[in-house]
Amino acid sequence: MKGADIAFPNIGIYFSNVPKSVSVAGFQIAFYGIIIACGMLLGIVMARWNAKRTGQNPDIYTDFALWGILFALIGARAYYVIFSWDSYKDDFMQIFNIRGGGLALYGGVVGACGGVIAAVITAIVYCKRKNYNFLKFVDTAVTGLILGQIIGRYGNFMNREAFGEYTNSLFAMRLKVDEVNPSSITDAMTEHMQTIDGVNYIQVHPTFLYESVWNLIILILMILRIKKKAFNGEIFLIYLIGYGIGRCWIEGLRTDQLQIGTTGIAVSQVLSAVLALAGIAAWVLLFRKNKKRTKKI
């Protein structure tokens, strides 16, 4: 098993013959897409479950999901294209070629700032049109969003992408060199490259796993708090703060960062920090507002 496609050698876990796609009726369907779709569906189930737990109409969240997912994906793609403009400025049609990669979860639900931002904007418009309390709504909806992100990261695992720098830590992940994007291979990875049975391997941080586990911890906290929250918006802010902090750290390990020009600064790290700080500021304001209201009562 030493020559496995994907391995975690320091904990003795090996995966052989891990395909990136499956053939259905002559069509190649990427496992990445299948996993993302499963994440979306289970995210809707999660939001509906929490809606029932808190005495809301779960159908509200199913209706929103149709629009939220659509605009989150559009936002994710727009985020990626904007910060990778040099790759698209000479061939605009490539903007629509999502099979080539580039759905950032910040822009929506899959690379990670464009999607989240677009989803929040969509929620604001949706709540205004339906006359729902926005903060109460996003407290529930965000539980579905983060579950989708938890599951979606395993699409990166299947694609051998979105990994970090070289490491020999306990959870180090080993990948075949010819199955990863050459632009993601750093000097440190090359320096520590291993050759097994004539095949070259790199060993890296499994950032998909770090983010998935971190988000799972956040989700558990959200589920425990949702029926005991002190004010509307608390669960949403737990997400913003927790996800922002985690993503800011994890993005620093990545080798495929979208950067701000030639500054060397990762766009997602900046946006993650902004989200976390905005979440903390909003938490303080809403907490004080709720405290004053409680005193008056």
Residue 12: per-residue pLDDT:
96
Q: What stretch of H or E contains 174?
A: strand 173-176
What global pTM score does this model have?
A: 0.84
How large is the angle between the packed helices 134-159 and 59-82, nearest 10 degrees? 60
Q: What confidence tens digit (pLDDT) does each residue in 213-230 have? A: 999 999 999 999 999 999
The mean-pLDDT minimum among 161-165, 186-190, 251-255 falls in 251-255
> Mean pLDDT, to the nearest integer, of 168-179?
97
pLDDT band at 103 (very low <50, low <70, confident <90, very high): very low
Sequence-distant (6+) residues with CB within 8 A of 268 are: 104, 106, 112, 113, 247, 251, 257, 258
Residue 230 φ/ψ, nearest 5 degrees: -80, -25
Residue 106: per-residue pLDDT:
39
Whether the predicted pLDDT of 126 surpasses 90: yes
pLDDT band at 84 (very low <50, low <70, confident <90, very high): low
Q: What stretch of H or E contains 173?
A: strand 173-176
Q: What confidence tens digit (pLDDT) does each residue in 16-57 have? A: 989 988 888 888 888 888 998 899 999 999 999 999 999 999
